[in-house]
Amino acid sequence: MQGPPPLADNGQRNPLITSRRNPLVKQLRQLHTARGRREAGMVLLEGTHMVEEALRHGLSLQRLVFTQGWGENHAALLAQVPPRLQQPVSEGVLAAVATTVHPDGVVATALLPQTPWPRQPRFLLALDHVQDPGNLGTLLRTALAAAVDGVVLAQCADPWQPKVLRAAAGASFALPISQVPSLEPVLAEASDRGLRTMATCVAGGRPYTQLDWSLPSLLILGNEGSGLSTEVVSRCRVAVSIPHSDAVDSLNVAVAGALLLFERLRPA
């Protein structure tokens, strides 16, 4: 496969790309899929806010692709990126590489974040088969706001897809995130580390307001439709539930996660 055009090595910005057949277009479009991101070891960042968050969190940008109009309106942001990584393109080319219908003039590529895990985490969040990108991104953003030390994803939506990144609003770049095929070894390791394992359930669990949220814990949330499997619940020390009226069967997983995670920040 032919690679992207070489970066300028003379300290100057790369020449304008106007053709959708340029090799760079194909390279960026490959980052639309989980497989493409995994094979390239890169993520596609779309929009000004996402680029700002990536720079703020120290991501290693590989290419900044932007229209002339965007560059003129964001000179200060553009100045934070070395000229050799800057790639001006036509609006047609930008539309071809973006996943959004109305891109705001810029996309970037960056190496997949590798945020280190703390040696002694006090509170972790695990998500099991959470498939909706909006829910996953919202939970990541909530986890960061609630000072969670790290997030484990078991068979969830790809956290680096554009919809998740937009919903997370930059939280993905600040949180340690681990993707695993199963929660079984995670539960075992959590117990070995002295973390209380907590499974969320619709009914039969202890009301969340009755628990001591200051204890080192691993909180597990399940799939939007079916929740956690009985096997996962049975392997946890505590089953926790959120009381609600009989008018609904259950709460949205992102809403439930917010209630539980912020409970641990409530003053004693």
1 band by pLDDT with thresholds 50, 70 and 90: very low
In this prediction, residue 12 carries a pLDDT of 73
The H-or-E segment that residue 139 falls in is helix 133-145
Q: Is the pLDDT of residue 204 over 90?
A: no
- The structure tokens 């790290």 sit at 150
DSSP, collapsed to helix, strand or coil, labels residue 236 as: coil
Domains along the sequence of the chain with CATH: 23-111 (3.30.1330.30), 123-263 (3.40.1280.10)
Q: Is the pLDDT of residue 10 over 70?
A: no
Yes or no: say if 85 and 108 are a contact pair by the CB < 8 Å rule.
no
What's the pLDDT tens digit per position in 59-104? 999 999 999 999 999 999 999 999 999 999 999 999 999 999 888 9
> Other CB atoms closer than 10 Å to residue 100's CB: what's the count?
13
Yes or no: say if 198 and 240 are a contact pair by the CB < 8 Å rule.
yes
Yes or no: say if 240 and 201 are a contact pair by the CB < 8 Å rule.
yes
C-alpha dist (Å) from residue 125 to 25, 92, 216, 228: 37, 41, 11, 14
In this prediction, residue 19 carries a pLDDT of 97
Using CA atoms, how far apart are residues 168 and 32, in angstroms rounded to an integer? 17
For residue 174 the two structure tokens come to: 């600040």
**10-14, 53-57, 154-158: which has the minimum mean pLDDT?**
10-14
Q: Which of 155, 267, 263 is closest to 217 using CA atoms? A: 263
Using CA atoms, how far apart are residues 132 and 142, in angstroms rounded to an integer? 15
What's the pLDDT tens digit per position in 131-145? 999 999 999 999 999
247 band by pLDDT with thresholds 50, 70 and 90: confident
Task: Count helices and strands (H / E) in the chain.
Answer: 11, 11
Yes or no: say if 31 and 4 are a contact pair by the CB < 8 Å rule.
no
What's the pLDDT tens digit per position in 23-47? 999 999 999 999 999 999 999 999 9
Whole-number mean pLDDT of the chain? 93
In this prediction, residue 7 carries a pLDDT of 58
Contacts of residue 39, Cβ cutoff 8 Å, sequence gap at least 6: 30
Could you tell me whether strands 86-88 and 61-66 are parallel, antiparallel, or unpaired per DSSP bridges?
Answer: parallel
Task: Determine the average pLDDT of the residues in 157-184.
Answer: 96
